[in-house]
Amino acid sequence: MDFAAAASPGPADLQPANHNRFVPAVTFDRKELQTILNLYGRKVVDGEWRDYAIDFLRDRALFSIYKRASERPLYVVEKNPRLRLKQGQYMVLSQEGRILKRGHDLVTVLRVLELALVK
């Protein structure tokens, strides 16, 4: 046995001591995003909404809806998979942070935005 080869570090030995795992972000799937964007498109055509932002975080996904370029979104559609067995993983929040609707079905939750009056 060659002791010089055994003493040299191999690829496994070069790994950092703390093995950071890649934690995927929560995202909207294609069907969910299409449902949200269909509603968004109708509201843009009506002149009620003008901009949006999407955030994929470690524990939730957010679709923020803006009337104007302001600091706070008018509404936020949130997907939180940890709540799927409890209140439901989808919710719509108002600008003030109030939960307007929560549930298991995205289409049902988004109906609150169909009926929402523009301020």
The reported pLDDT for the residue numbered 8 is 47
DSSP E strands: which ranges in the chain? 51-56, 61-66, 75-79, 90-94, 99-103
| pLDDT at residue 72 greater than cutoff 80 | yes
Q: What is the pLDDT of residue 117?
A: 57
- Report pTM: 0.75
Give the contacts of 65 (CB within 8 A, at least 6 positions apart): 40, 43, 49, 51, 52, 73, 74, 75, 76, 77, 113
- Percent of the chain whose pLDDT exceeds 90: 45
Name residues whose C-beta falls within 8 Å of residue 66's C-beta, 6 or more positions apart in sequence: 49, 50, 51, 52, 53, 73, 74
Structural domain boundaries in the chain: 30-114
pLDDT in tens, 83-114: 888 888 899 999 898 999 999 999 999 999 98
| pLDDT per position as a tens digit, 74-83 | 999 999 999 8
- Taking the C-alpha atoms of residue 71 and residue 105, their distance in angstroms, rounded to an integer, is 29
Determine the pLDDT at residue 19. 56
